[in-house]
Amino acid sequence: MSRLCWIVALGAISALLGALPAAAQEDGKDGKRMIFFGRALSAHVLLGVAPDYIGSDDYRVRPAGSLSLSTPGAEPVFTAPDDGVNLGLIGDNTFSAGPVGRWRSGRDDHGDLKGFDKIDWAIEAGAFAVWWPADWLRLRGEVRRGFGGNTAWAATVGADAVYRKASWTMSIGPRLRWADDKFTRTYFGVTPAEAARSPFGVTAYDADGDFLSMGVLGSLEYQWSPRWSFTSNAEYQRLTGDAADSPIVSELGSKDQFRVTVGVQYAF
């Protein structure tokens, strides 16, 4: 049944991509933005160093990317590097809300997790809201449900102090991440069978509490042309609660999670 769901999802994505050329039109001439279904599209391509999985103390280089849609002709709106792919359907530059989606990578059964069950990648879909109480302060929240590797609920709440100077944009702010018991059991629980298969002597662990992490994210962007910009960011998270107490973290990994990425953004 899960395989059929993925086939249907991939078919829908293929159909959407096939429709994009017909739906796109120039917002005027002389290098103005391309318009997709009434929105201006920007693509963000990143390369970063991040934990091998949630709670790991091993790091690897991995690519990432995102898409953002904005109102044509409007002033560029600040987006943080950890924002999900979203589409603002209501509101304006002060407050906006709409659907959001994220992709969460899977987890293999090698290295420290030898003997553990594999976890497939997941798509998390839900809603977001952004509020600018001041021109330098952004508040944002997301609530999402997973499909695929997890079927749990998760939420992210954050604030960003934003400073703009000529071609430079800098930001920094706290992050709070929450997820339900099902998420905690999926990524931090240890079944008796997994404990028996693990060569590292871990014990079974029933993760019933909510997964929670707190941290901070900083970003730097340099706009070198109307369409191109360079970005870099660094993030620190501290796992807490049942997630931090799991043998996957306390014995095989680390509560402290770091992520550093660099990339480019192009406005179509």
> Rounded CA gap, 47 and 61, in Å?
7
Rounded to an integer, the average pLDDT of 5-25 is 39
Residues 189-205: tens digit of each pLDDT: 999 999 999 999 999 99
Instruction: Give the predicted TM-score (pTM) of the model.
Output: 0.80
What per-residue confidence (pLDDT) applies to 27?
Answer: 44
What per-residue confidence (pLDDT) applies to 260?
Answer: 95
Cβ-in-10-Å burial (0-12, 13-18, 19+) of 92 comes to: exposed
Rounded to an integer, the average pLDDT of 74-94 is 82
> Rounded CA gap, 126 and 100, in Å?
5
Rounded to an integer, the average pLDDT of 136-162 is 96
DSSP-assigned beta bridge partners for residue 155: 143, 178
> Rounded CA gap, 264 and 224, in Å?
11
Rounded to an integer, the average pLDDT of 78-96 is 87
> Rounded CA gap, 236 and 214, in Å?
8
Confidence of residue 35 (pLDDT cuts 50, 70, 90): low
Both tokens of 91, joined, read: 């509101």
Q: How far is CA 124 from CA 179, 261, 262, in A?
A: 12, 22, 24
Residues 222-243: tens digit of each pLDDT: 998 888 899 999 999 999 999 9
Confidence of residue 138 (pLDDT cuts 50, 70, 90): very high
Both tokens of 100, joined, read: 């959001």
Ordered domains of the chain (ranges, CATH):
2-267 (2.40.230)
**Are 38 and 71 within 8 A, CB to CB?**
no
Q: Report residue 159: phi and psi, to 5°.
A: -135, 145
> Rounded CA gap, 72 and 180, in Å?
38
248: pLDDT strictly greater than 90: yes
Host H or E run for residue 193? helix 192-197
Identify which of 102, 109, 103, 101 has the alpha carbon closest to the alpha carbon of residue 52. 109
How many C-beta neighbours within 10 Å does residue 10 have?
10
